């Protein structure tokens, strides 16, 4: 793993494989290691770049702690500038999916395709927005442990918590290892994000892929369908028997969908 200083912070990142770059942005409250099965599978064909967003994993926070949602995207773009990468495929899960919408808004000409996993683009309802602020305060007061033990039953399909103990333990530990201050900052920044459904998605004219777990409670299939309806050149793939993290619940199926999508672009056969 490497680190680079951008925007007054250190961004930790990992590069796996060689070839056309594929940049994968993790969700909340996770880090770049959530993409490990994808980095292994995709690295046979691509250069996979998995950063830790500011404050997550081994990336730092700015000293003044002032962070807007746009900053997460700017950090990634500056990292890629530092690596002299000016054209890449881009994927993100959950909050990471919203971060890649912002990356597209800031640098549309650099992005070859977009992969949205278990995410949504519309603004939060007032109740969801309040929930983000309440959770941020809770993280600052209590830390991450209790939340991780509760949230695992929505991060994975509930049955998978017992059926896939290794995956469940990995996800729980990733959540518990997250810096509570960073998680709180991200939730508040995310609560104030722009309306990507209205302001960004109609501008997207590159190939897009949406993947969602059939049993995802955080971002249900109806939200994936809302995304698809707002995109011009888009494929929707639903992974059965999966919750919010199909990349870990059914990695082989997830990887095959992504590789097929990327290969269809490189061969010019992407038509929907």
Say whether pLDDT at 272 is over 70: no
The residues facing 210 across adjacent strands are 116, 236
Q: Which domains does the chain have, with CATH numbers?
A: 2-123+194-266 (3.40.50.1820)
- In angstroms, rounded to a whole number, what is the distance separating the alpha carbons of residues 259 and 204? 21
Tell me the average pLDDT of the chain.
96
Helix/strand/coil percentages in the chain, nearest 5 = 50, 20, 35
Q: What is the C-alpha separation between 190 and 97, in angstroms, rounded? A: 12
Mean pLDDT of 53-58: 98
Is residue 198 within a helix (H) or strand (E), and if so which, with residue range? helix 196-199
How distant, in Å, are the alpha carbons of 29, 58, 139, 141 from that of 135? 12, 22, 6, 10
pLDDT tens-digit series, residues 227-253: 999 999 999 999 999 999 999 999 999
| pLDDT score at 83 | 97
Q: Identify the DSSP state of 85.
A: -
Dihedral of CA atoms 260, 115, 84, 33 in degrees, nearest 10, equals -90
Q: Is 201 exposed, middle or buried (0-12, 13-18, 19+ CB in 10 A)?
A: buried
pLDDT at 271 over 60: no
Q: pLDDT tens-digit profile of 191-203?
A: 999 999 999 999 9
Element at 255 (helix H, strand E): helix 251-266
Which strand (E) or helix (H) includes residue 249? helix 246-249
What is the per-residue pLDDT across 144-167, written as a single tens digit (0 to 9) for each? 999 999 999 999 999 999 999 999
- Taking a C-beta distance cutoff of 8 angstroms, is the pair 103, 90 a contact? yes
Which residues are paired to 88 by β-bridges? Answer: 111
pLDDT in tens, 31-43: 999 999 999 999 9
CB of 249 closer than 8 Å to CB of 242: yes
- In sequence order, what are the residues at sequence separation of 6 or more whose Cβ sits closer than 8 angstroms to the Cβ of residue 253? 239, 246
pLDDT score for 16: 98
pLDDT at 203: 96
Structure tokens given for 71? 């900053």
pLDDT for position 269: 61
Q: 1 pLDDT band (50/70/90 cuts)?
A: confident
């Amino acid at each position: 793993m490497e680190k680079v200083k951008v925007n007054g912070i250190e961004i930790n990142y990992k590069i796996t494989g060689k070839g056309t770059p594929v940049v994968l942005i993790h969700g909340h409250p996770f880090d770049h290691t959530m993409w490990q099965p994808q980095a292994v599978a995709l690295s046979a064909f691509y250069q996979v770049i998995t950063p830790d967003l500011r404050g997550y994993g081994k990336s730092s926070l700015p000293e003044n702690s002032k962070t807007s949602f746009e900053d997460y995207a700017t950090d990634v773009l500056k990292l890629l500038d530092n690596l002299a990468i000016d054209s890449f495929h881009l994927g993100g899960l959950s909050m990471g999916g919203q971060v890649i919408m912002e990356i597209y808004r800031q640098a549309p000409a650099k992005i070859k395709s977009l992969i949205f996993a278990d995410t949504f683009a519309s603004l939060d309802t007032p109740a969801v927005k309040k929930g983000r602020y309440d959770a941020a305060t809770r993280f600052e007061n209590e830390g991450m442990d209790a939340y991780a033990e509760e949230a695992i039953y929505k991060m994975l399909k509930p049955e998978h918590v017992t059926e896939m103990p290794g995956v469940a333990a990995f996800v729980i530990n990733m959540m518990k290892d997250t810096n509570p201050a960073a998680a709180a900052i991200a939730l508040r920044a995310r609560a104030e994000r722009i309306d990507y459904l209205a302001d960004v998605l109609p501008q997207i004219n590159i190939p897009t892929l949406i993947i969602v777990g059939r049993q995802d409670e955080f971002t249900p299939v109806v939200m994936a369908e809302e995304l698809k309806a707002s995109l011009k050149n888009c494929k929707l793939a639903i992974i059965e028997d999966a919750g919010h993290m199909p990349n870990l619940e059914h990695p082989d199926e997830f990887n095959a969908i992504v590789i097929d999508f990327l290969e269809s672009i490189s061969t010019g056969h992407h038509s929907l």
